[in-house]
Amino acid sequence: MIKKNIPHVFTSLNLLSGLVAILMVMSDRLIEAVFFVFLGIFFDFFDGFFARLFKVEGEFGKELDSLADMVTSGIVPGLIMYQLLLYATQEKWFGQLSCDIGNWESFKETNLFFLPFIGLIIPLASAYRLANFNIDERQSDSFIGLPTPAFALFIVSLPLILNYSDNQFFIDLIHNNYVLVGITLLGSYLLNADMSLFSLKFKNYTWSENKIKYLFLIAALVLLFVFKTVAIPLVIILYVLISLIENIMQKKIRLFNFK
């Protein structure tokens, strides 16, 4: 009985982390919100790990996991993007402006008052992706579309880059509201794209069956060592690119075998 509920405890901790992250965003404390998103994704990994370990995977756990992911990896990234767009449209950043959610007075300073709301497309796209994931039987060994935690990591890395990176090129990109809109729209599309992306779940640890995963993990570690916080979005981009290359190669192999 205890083993059966261990994964649910971790899922609940994921949900709790997401709720605290929402409170942090609403208080304009984005870095603290980012920390709780990372914590939630950590719990999200281990709820699935323990469910597989104890062989207690079930429909209830799947639904609870999706609800928790919706908060931590859907709503919170959307609110963070809302705040980043609000900063960008007013050209004022951390420590220069209080941008509490719902502060309508701050909108009067710009003609682009509607732009921050585009960030809320992220929770909508995440909800659709998570609902589809639960009924799509093709996603047992791989993902169809970008996983919500992966896109969440991309979004929450942006405040970290602004605060801890000295790479002016990436900082300038994040200061550009149209770049932020582009990230929002492209990422929301990728969440629901009919595109296969490899999973990092290991059924065994042989090189022959997992070389793509091992190469990706090695490249990710190198990027993190060299670029630090800037590496996080680069790792997500690399993940998508490797998956696309793998899909193209598999199509060519199938075409060759057919001939």
User: pLDDT: is 225 or 56 the higher one?
Assistant: 225
Q: Which residues contact 218 (CB under 8 A, 6 or more apart)?
A: none
Cα angle 51-37-137, degrees, rounded to a multiple of 5? 40
- CA pseudo-torsion sign 117, 193, 52, 221: negative
For residue 43, the tally of other CB atoms under 10 A from its CB is: 20
The overall average pLDDT reported for the chain is 86
pLDDT value of residue 110: 56
H/E segment holding residue 146: none
Residue-wise pLDDT for 191-222, tens only, equals 999 999 988 877 777 887 788 899 999 999 99
Please answer whether residues 166 and 230 qualify as being in contact, where contact means their C-beta atoms are separated by less than 8 angstroms.
no
Distances (CA, A) of 4 to 10, 51, 126: 12, 8, 28
Residue whose tokens read 């929770």 = 123
How does pLDDT run across 176-197, given as a tens digit for each residue?
999 999 999 999 999 999 999 9
101-110 per-position pLDDT tens digit: 445 455 555 5
Q: Phi then psi for 196, rounded to 5 degrees? A: -85, 130
Number of H helices, E strands in the chain: 10, 2
C-alpha to C-alpha distance for 221 and 219, rounded to whole angstroms = 5
Asked if residue 148 lies in contact with residue 74, where contact means CB atoms within 8 angstroms, the answer is yes
Nearest residue to 148 via CA among 161, 136, 132: 132
Distance CA 227, CA 181 (A): 24
CA distances to 113, 174, 230 from 168, in Å: 26, 10, 11
Model confidence at 48, pLDDT cuts 50, 70, 90, reads confident
Partners of residue 198 on adjacent β-strands? 142
pLDDT digit string, tens, across residues 127-160: 999 999 888 777 666 789 999 999 999 999 999 9
Q: What is the pLDDT of residue 50?
A: 76
